[in-house]
Amino acid sequence: MLPNESRFQISAAVDQIPQACDFVVQIAQQAGLDDHAVYHCQLAIDEACTNIIEHGYTHQSAHETIEIICRHEPARFSIIIVDSAPEFDPLTRTDPNPAASLEERTTGGWGIFFIKKLMDEVSYEHLNGKNYLTAVKYLPQ
Amino acid sequence: MLNVNTSMREQIALIEVSGRIDSMNANQLGETLNREIDSGHRHMVLDLAGVDYMSSAGLREIVSALKKVRGSGDLRLAQPSSRVREVLEMAGLDTIFQIYATQSEAVGSY
């Protein structure tokens, strides 16, 4: 683990997500993000974990986990969400349309869209059988 | 932790929510809204004054409820915090829902 890195692991269950949010909030505050940016990080980790649990790990098991890595660098705060669900790049999904009428709307599909809107950078990698979603907030200079 | 209270104001079903709405408990809100709709209530106000956090799981429930009542009634929102309003705006729901600054304005809008 790098000196500027903190790690936390949860079981892949929705009742574990608040713990992941609390962890990210604490580290984001220590990194110097303001309250609004910390809130964005909290929403981003919530949406990412929800997506993995609802769409990635479709067969719930106590052995399935999500790892959250927070990395504090001089100009950026990164949240890396790691899971072992089947390979899936959520960034390839077509964004839902905020201008759609009520009739045109599907009720889901907003989680990844929110992460892209709330964070300054979002990227995806599949490495050694794991999905890595990285969401970055720029730190105030 | 999510608290949901329901009451009637004249013919308006008032649902007051406080706490955090996320994927763990959004179905609790959805069940309450569905129960009101199934009871025949078509004019509803969802007071979000006590909600400090709402993820897309919460949006899913309120959009689903609105789809059920729009046409024969409405689900109107009252007092969203700036953070909840930001989420509503990101999803374009500030133009879909009628949103009021106070509970009495929302109830009185029917």
Q: What is the mean pLDDT of residues A39-49?
A: 97
Q: Compute the nearest-CA separation of A65 from chain B (Å).
A: 17
The count of structural domains within chain A is 1
Q: Look at B96 and A101 and tell me if their CB atoms are within 8 Å.
A: yes
- The residue segments making up the domain with residue A125 are 5-138
Provide the CB-side half-sphere exposure for A44 (13 A, CA): 31
List of residues 6+ apart from A51 with CB closer than 8 A: A90, A111, A112
| A107 shares contact with chain B (CB less than 8 Å) | yes
- Residues in chain B predicted with pLDDT less than 70, given as ranges, are none
Q: Look at B55 and A50 and tell me if their CB atoms are within 8 Å.
A: yes
The count of structural domains within chain B is 1
Output the domain CATH number for residue A118: 3.30.565.10
Percent above pLDDT 90 for chain A: 82
- Say yes or no to pLDDT of A33 above 80: yes
**pLDDT confidence tier of residue A120, bands split at 50, 70 and 90:** very high
- The residue segments making up the domain with residue B89 are 2-108
Which site among A36, A107, A119 would you substitute to test the B interface, given the most B Cβ atoms closer than 10 Å to its Cβ? A107
Q: What 3-state DSSP class applies to B54?
A: strand
- Beta bridge pairs of residue B54: B21
Q: Look at A105 and B63 and tell me if their CB atoms are within 8 Å.
A: yes
Distance between CA atoms of A115 and A126, rounded to whole angstroms? 18
Listing from the earlier edge strand, what are the strands of the sheet with B2-9? Answer: B2-9, B12-21, B43-54, B74-78, B99-100
Which site among B56, B89, B97 would you substitute to test the A interface, given the most A Cβ atoms closer than 10 Å to its Cβ? B56
Asked if residue B91 lies in contact with residue A102, where contact means CB atoms within 8 angstroms, the answer is: no
CB atoms within 10 A of CB A73: 13
Asked if residue A42 lies in contact with residue A80, where contact means CB atoms within 8 angstroms, the answer is: no
**Residues of A with Cβ-Cβ distance to B64 under 8 angstroms:** 107
pLDDT in tens, A53-111: 988 887 666 689 999 999 999 999 999 999 999 999 999 989 999 999 999 988 778 99
Measured between alpha carbons, how far apart are the two ends of chain A, in Å?
A: 26
Q: Look at B23 and A53 and tell me if their CB atoms are within 8 Å.
A: yes
- Say yes or no to pLDDT of A140 above 90: no
Distance between CA atoms of A65 and A81, rounded to whole angstroms? 11
Dig out the tokens for A73 from the structure: 């660098």
Distance between CA atoms of B64 and B87, rounded to whole angstroms? 16
Output the domain CATH number for residue B54: 3.30.750.24
Nearest residue on chain B to A46, alpha-carbon basis: B55
Amino acid at position B53, single letter:
Y
Q: Mean pLDDT, chain A, as a whole number? A: 92
Alpha carbon A34 to its chain's center: 18
User: Which ipTM value was assigned to this complex?
Assistant: 0.91
The 3-class SS string of chain A reads: CCCCEEEEEEECCHHHHHHHHHHHHHHHHHHCCCHHHHHHHHHHHHHHHHHHHHHHCCCCCCCCEEEEEEEECCCEEEEEEEECCCCCCHHHCCCCCCCCCCCCCCCCCCHHHHHHHHCCEEEEEEECCEEEEEEEEECCC
Q: Look at A17 and B91 and tell me if their CB atoms are within 8 Å.
A: no
> Given this model, what pLDDT does residue A139 score?
93
